[in-house]
């Protein structure tokens, strides 16, 4: 009963985080790199707080679920997909710290994303892509039951790397188009 409740809490936290993340990404896209107004900045900070809270709940519930799984069967920890999920969530967590302490400052600055240096724009783009891909992939790993005790760690991480590479390529193309659009508007 406890494990089922924890899995349910884990699921609700994941749904909350993904929902807020996607809504926030759409809201940021609407600004098209321009400086954000006070309401948009407040919304970004409120939503980042919700995602942070959800991430804490996910870490706590996930670790307790793993502990229960281990106590029921010590071989539970031999599932390489589980270790890949820990890796992806760790990347997601570290990236989130960088997002909060660097990327959000660039996005909320008076110059906005498009007024930032090229390097700052690149770092914001990379952290945004890492965030979205890592959140979505970690949720996928949560439901990828056929990979349990079958898929090797390297395979799961190669799939993650391929998805990340494709997403970065798409992000770089969108960034290139956005920069081109703003150069045309400036002239």
Half-sphere exposure at residue 64, Cβ-oriented, CA atoms within 13 angstroms: 15
What residue spans define the domains of the chain? 2-186
The string of DSSP letters for 31-99 reads HTTSPPPHHHHHHHHHHHHHHHHHHHHHHHHHHHHHHHHHHH-GGGGG-HHHHHHHHHHHHHHHHHHHI
CB atoms within 10 A of CB 47: 18
Under-50 pLDDT residues of the chain: 187
Per-residue pLDDT reduced to its tens digit, 108-163:
999 999 899 999 999 999 999 999 999 999 999 999 999 999 999 999 999 999 99
């Amino acid at each position: 009963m406890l494990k089922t409740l924890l899995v349910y809490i884990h699921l609700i936290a994941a749904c909350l985080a993904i929902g807020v993340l996607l809504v926030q990404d759409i809201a940021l896209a609407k600004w098209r790199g321009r400086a954000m107004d006070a309401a948009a900045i407040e919304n970004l900070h409120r939503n980042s707080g919700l995602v942070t809270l959800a991430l804490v709940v996910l870490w706590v519930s996930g670790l307790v679920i793993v502990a229960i799984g281990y106590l029921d069967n010590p071989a539970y920890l031999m599932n390489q997909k589980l270790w890949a999920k820990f890796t992806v969530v760790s990347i997601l967590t570290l990236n989130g710290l960088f997002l909060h302490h660097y990327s959000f400052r660039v996005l909320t600055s008076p110059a906005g994303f498009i007024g930032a240096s090229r390097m700052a724009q690149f770092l914001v783009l990379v952290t945004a892509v890492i965030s979205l891909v890592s959140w979505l992939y970690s949720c996928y790993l949560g439901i990828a039951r056929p990979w349990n005790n079958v898929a090797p760690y390297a395979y799961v991480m190669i799939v993650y790397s391929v998805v990340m590479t494709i997403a970065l390529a798409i992000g770089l193309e969108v960034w290139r188009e956005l920069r081109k659009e703003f150069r045309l508007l400036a002239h």
